[in-house]
A and B are shown apart, each in its own frame.
Chain A
Amino acid sequence: MEVVVGMKKEKMEFDETELRLGIGSTKASEEVVRKRGFSETENHDDDDDENTTMDLMLNLSSKEASGEVDPNDKIKNLQKEKTLLPDPAKPPTKTQVVGWPPVRSYRKNMLAMQKSSTNFGDESEKNNAISFVKVSMDGAPYLRKVDLKMYKSYSQLSDSLGKMFSSFTIGNCESQGMKDFMNESKLMDLLNNSDYVPTYEDKDGDWMLVGDVPWEMFVESCKRLRIMKGKEAIGIAPRAMEKCKNRR
């Protein structure tokens, strides 16, 4: 972790001195860089990519003179001949350049419009690589926490929860009941039989039945889990029943 912090520090110095003709403030572009870094590490299991990313940063920062470099000097260094730039104070660092990058205004506007309207894109970018949520089970003396990003599917989650809370339930049938619950096709039967209903609170603050949406969508929107006693799940269960009817 210290190494990572170190990398970031060096990168920051480089950012300050690097000649940039891009748009946006220091903070904004740094955040973007950080996000990209995380998303790259998220998707790639092999360490090589991480190292490559970091190595790149290292090379760049070491080639720069440490400490401050006058951006004006930087421009002059880039252009070996006598510079014919009209206004030496003009280009440096983060000034916004009209018409660069050369993307059609129509496309830029569409993108801006889409970014403001879609929630999922923005939310997932903000997520970290870990996602601990509290899990409560009715009747249990204390709560647990699970990292949803550790699992790839509902069945994995239910296995884990089952093991976690098995000591509070009577034998295996309960955890089995919960596993089956995750299986949509057995929903109707289980609602009649099972004592426990797994529910979760989503981003909007609503209590939802676990298992309706694709796994990844669930991970993005789940804030906490609650394994409810069947009787208390009356409020939720009818909705689930309705969904089942619609599915038929």
Chain B
Amino acid sequence: MNYFPDEVIEHVFDYVVSHSDRNSLSLVCKSWYRIERFTRQRVFIGNCYSISPERLVERFPDLKSLTLKGKPHFADFSLVPHGWGGFVYPWIEALAKSKVGLEELRLKRMVVSDESLELLSRSFMNFKSLVLVSCEGFTTDGLAAVAANCRSLRELDLQENEVEDHKGQWLSCFPENCTSLVSLNFACLKGEINIGALERLVARSPNLKSLRLNRSVPVDALQRILMRAPQLMDLGIGSFFHDLNSDAYAKLRTTILKCTSITSLSGFLEVAPFSLAAMYPICQNLTSLNLSYAAGIQGSELIKLIRHCGKLQRLWIMDCIGDKGLGVVATACKDLQELRVFPSAPFGNQGAVTEKGLVAISMGCRKLHSLLYFCHQMTNAALITVAKNCPNFIRFRLCILDATKPDPDTMQPLDEGFGAIVQSCKQLRRLSLSGQLTDQVFLYIGMYAEQLEMLSIAFAGETDKGMLYVLNGCKKLRKLEIRDCPFGDTALLTDIGKYETMRSLWMSSCEVTVGACKTLAKKMPSLNVEIFGEGEQADCYVEDGQRVEKMYLYRTVAGKREDAPEYVWTL
């Protein structure tokens, strides 16, 4: 089969970068499999329980970068009880033992202990990049170990993690000769940090391009930091609370003028009202703006700021911007590609934006391809208009705060609206539904959503047919997550072979029974079928006819996992 020597093929493979392409290469023939595995440097594992760490290390000895995802997506919304799993320690241990030259570790929704971080920091001499997203289980002590021991650290990026803050001096643990930092994000840390240590760190990091601070960094320190790092491209401001008459604020306004490289701005976890004018000079360069945690900014100020941001491609904001504000976005941000509008009152169900804001956006921002929109209500007419205006959606996630709300104008379900979206947006890969929905919407999805990879459903549908339309129709489906829908055993068991083609299926508060799950698990040994309730003992599920509260199944070559807590029953 080989017409070329291995070295030539290796060289060609160097140009093949994407995970799916590399996976395809390895399937061509035995020698390609062999060559590919020895040259593979980056591996992405979407479900950490789909393969064992030992097997990973055995197959890819030259591994440099590993991405791992742990808990199911609905864990974000408190639907997965504590202690379910997703521990990173065994992975780090296996990598360390086999002397893999790990340089980058990216984790999402995993449990990361201080021990893991310490082991990580001591085991890999060339370790460069640690990215933790929505993880938990570690403290600032673990961060101190990483800071102290990773001599060539370039990136420490902590996004939305629950970190226990021991108010230690973790930042001071970066040694004086550490000058390699390119990216530092500690916005999610709740505690104080050593400001002096931070300033000195920034001063000796000439390559620093991305810096996201937490709320403990005051404005005067921010100003001094910006003076030291005018080359910054991505800035996250923690605290912007200050006296508008102060010298610090005046100095800041001058310093900001020098920051001409900043294209991404975020944070404002604390903000003095009416102080955003200081940011206007850099707004024209911004391609990314994330004010979704800036609860202190009033809608009117937000709108004023955004008017200056003509080059914006990504915008994350809160719904206090209102429909009118979205109209301003539509006029000002013609290059907008990704929009996320979060609810400022997630504890209620009164959103501040409606279908009107979305329609306005769709008329002005024709390049829009990713949307996450929390709103008060939606209409079919609006969705149909949006589908027509923006046929390029890749991700479309709509969340109506009142989960089963119909179209308020017609009192009809939103089937037609979402149907229009899937029909028009032929590249749609991710879809989240809400509002009143019947089986009809799933018929549309099965028929039209040919590229769909991930679907999230809640409080929707009427019969098993709904789920079956999706399973039969969406050939590229990888992740399906369903909550509070009337789908039961028939839907689950009709096409069990389908689940081997998918990464995972989540069903909670549906009509699936213990017996059906058992049947499925028996027929499909390549799947792990886990059922669990609200932290109860697993043996409360005695009768086959009993309804299952939560079921999570996923394909795996690793067999039943050993680290499941008592309340998880792997069938």
Contacts and interface: CB of A to CB of B under 8 A. Distances in A.
B20 interface: no
Contact of B404 (A21, A60, A107, A216): A21
B296 A121 contact: yes
A85 B401 CA distance: 20
A59 B342 contact: no
Contacts of B348: 22-24, 28-29, 32
Contacts of B161: 106
Contacts of A21: 349, 402-404, 459
Given A107-B342, A111-B344, A115-B295, A101 B247 contact: no
B298 A100 contact: no
Contacts of A80: 438, 462
B295 A29 contact: no
A83 B461 CA distance: 10
A104 to B, nearest CB: 5
Interface stretch (B123-131, B221-229, B266-274, B516-524): B266-274
Contacts of A81: 438-439, 462-463
B406 interface: yes
Contacts of A126: none
A63 B411 CA distance: 9
Interface in A48-85: 56, 59-60, 63, 78-81, 83-85
Nearest to B244: A214
**Which of A86, A101, A110 is the most central at the interface, judged by chain B CB atoms within 10 Å of its CB?**
A101
Interface in A179-229: 212-214, 216-217
B427 interface: no
B274 A216 contact: yes
B349 A106 contact: no
B435 to A, nearest CB: 11
Interface stretch (B72-80, B204-212, B417-425): B72-80
B220 to A, nearest CB: 14
A83 B486 contact: yes
A85 B509 CA distance: 10
Interface in B61-80: 74, 76-79
A217 B322 CA distance: 22
B295 A121 contact: yes
Interface in A77-123: 78-81, 83-86, 97-108, 110-112, 114-115, 117-118, 120-121
Contacts of A40: 322
Given A22-B401, A44-B324, A111-B346, A103 B462 contact: no
Contacts, number: 148
B511 interface: yes
Given A100-B458, A102-B399, A247 B273 contact: no
Nearest to A21: B403
Interface in B326-345: 342-345
Contacts of B245: 212-213, 243, 246-247
Interface in B521-560: 547
A106 B134 contact: yes
B547 to A, nearest CB: 6
B159 to A, nearest CB: 9
Given A23-B348, A84-B486, A111-B344, 14 more contacts: A21-B349, A21-B404, A86-B547, A98-B77, A100-B77, A100-B403, A102-B76, A102-B432, A111-B346, A118-B270, A118-B295, A213-B245, A217-B274, A243-B245
Interface of B: 74, 76-79, 134, 160-162, 188, 244-247, 269-270, 273-274, 292-293, 295-296, 298-300, 322, 324, 342-350, 352, 374, 399, 401-404, 406, 408-409, 411, 432, 436, 438-439, 456, 458-459, 462-463, 483, 486, 488, 511, 547
15 contacts: A21-B403, A21-B459, A36-B350, A56-B408, A80-B462, A86-B511, A102-B432, A103-B77, A103-B342, A103-B346, A108-B347, A111-B344, A112-B347, A114-B270, A214-B274
